[in-house]
């Protein structure tokens, strides 16, 4: 895979990405003790301007993940200003002039400490990569036989590398069964999210998404959808969603940093709506493409340069 940009940030300096290595005896490799976020970067060809999307929100989520995982030195050592400057420099050094994603991790930088978490050093790493190709015409989904890891096993609001074993098992099952991705139910059987994205459905012109207490990651794109829906006068609500509602929905879509907004056209071999992206989904996809330009009262873009 060579979609990685050449320069990474690792252990307080910029290095060639192929030299940014962790030991096989390190805590992130052995126990998944690392947290992360992925933020989108958009290239505006008309203005010849590169911008980072919702950077303060991504930093806040990284801080929250650090707090949940007791990575306290990260929150003491890194200010938003320092973070933003480092991300800016990473993009400048890589001479980025296209849409891309930046993956930032904060990891336990120690070896052979077992599952211990206290008193260990944490370091930030970041690299730039190309967004995946997502079929914008729609994806086929399957409800997973695996349940979403509950919040009281691994905190759902944190993005913890180790917890993605759960997502990987769900995705594997879905792909092996001929689907594009999986839908995760929580322990009670309510719809939670997909493997790396949140889920919305439309029933009777109302946009519905599982509430934040349904074992899900409170995605930043999910929050973007709320703002876009407000501007478009689309009624939206957060509540518990039953599995059977997935099959009766007029529209279903997934949303997340790497997928952006992608319609679901089939779930468990039942056609969603008329099998084509629905009108509310299309409206939100178009609004998302403006990346906040033209939206009143927001300040989602941080210019790179």
Any contact of residue 154 with ligand PMP (CB under 6 A)? no
Q: Which stretch binds ligand PMP (CB under 6 A): 23-31, 68-76, 119-127, 191-199?
A: 191-199
217 contributes a contact to ligand PMP by CB under 6 A: yes
Kindly tell me which residue out of 65, 125, 257, 260 binds ligand PMP, with binding defined by CB under 6 A: 257
Count of residues touching ligand PMP (by CB under 6 A): 13
- Residue 166 is a binding residue for ligand PMP (CB under 6 A): no
Instruction: Report the Cα 282 to chain-centroid distance in Å.
Output: 20
Those residues with Cβ within 8 angstroms of residue 100's Cβ, 6 or more apart along the chain or in another chain: 5, 40, 41, 128, 129, 130, 131
Give the alpha-carbon dihedral of 26, 30, 31, 35, to 10 degrees.
Answer: 50
**Whole-number Å distance between alpha carbons of 185 and 193:** 7
Rounded Cα distance, 212 and 63, in Å: 18
> Which of the ranges 23-31, 136-144, 212-220, 261-269 carries the binding residues for ligand PMP, by CB under 6 A?
212-220
Q: Cα–Cα distance between 265 and 36 in angstroms, integer?
A: 30
Asked if 64 touches ligand PMP (CB under 6 A), the answer is no
- Is residue 35 near ligand PMP by the rule CB under 6 A? no
Q: Is 155 in the site for ligand PMP (CB under 6 A)?
A: no
- Nearer to ligand PMP by C-beta: 256 or 277? 256
Counting contacts by CB under 6 A, is residue 196 touching ligand PMP? yes
Please identify, using beta-carbon distances, which residue of 67 and 103 lies nearer to ligand PMP: 103
CB neighbours of 129 closer than 8 A, spacing ≥ 6? 3, 4, 5, 100, 101, 103
CA distances to 52, 156, 209 from 212, rounded to whole Å, are: 25, 9, 9
Q: Which stretch in 11-19, 95-103, 194-202, 290-298 sits in contact with ligand PMP by CB under 6 A?
A: 194-202
The residues binding ligand PMP (CB under 6 A) are: 38, 167, 193, 196-198, 217, 219-222, 256-257
């Amino acid at each position: 895979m060579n979609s990685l940009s050449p320069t990474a940030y690792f252990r307080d300096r910029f290095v060639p990405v192929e030299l940014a290595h962790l030991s096989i005896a390190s805590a992130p490799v052995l126990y998944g003790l690392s947290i992360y976020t992925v933020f989108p970067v958009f290239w505006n060809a008309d203005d010849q301007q590169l911008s980072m999307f919702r950077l303060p929100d991504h930093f806040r989520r990284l801080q929250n993940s650090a707090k949940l995982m007791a990575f306290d030195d990260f929150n003491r050592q890194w200010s938003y200003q320092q973070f933003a400057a480092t991300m800016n420099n990473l993009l400048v050094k890589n001479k980025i002039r296209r849409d891309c994603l930046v993956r930032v991790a904060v990891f336990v930088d120690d070896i052979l400490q077992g599952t211990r978490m206290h008193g260990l050093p944490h370091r930030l790493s970041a690299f730039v990569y190309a967004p995946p190709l997502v079929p914008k015409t729609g994806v086929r989904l399957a409800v997973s036989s695996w349940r979403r890891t509950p919040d009281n096993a691994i905190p759902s609001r944190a993005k913890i590398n180790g917890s993605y074993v759960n997502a990987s098992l769900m995705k594997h099952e879905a792909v092996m069964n001929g689907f594009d991705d999986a839908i995760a139910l929580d322990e009670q059987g309510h719809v939670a999210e997909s493997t790396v994205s949140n889920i919305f459905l439309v029933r009777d012109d109302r946009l519905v998404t599982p509430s934040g207490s349904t074992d899900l990651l409170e995605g930043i794109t999910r929050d973007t959808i709320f703002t876009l829906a407000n501007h478009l006068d689309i009624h939206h609500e957060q509540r518990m969603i039953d599995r059977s509602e997935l099959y009766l929905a007029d529209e279903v879509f997934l949303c997340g940093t790497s997928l952006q907004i992608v319609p679901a056209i089939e779930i468990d071999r039942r056609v969603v709506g008329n099998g084509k992206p629905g009108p509310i989904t299309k409206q939100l996809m178009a609004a998302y493409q403006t990346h906040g330009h033209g939206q009143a009262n927001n300040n989602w873009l941080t210019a790179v340069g």
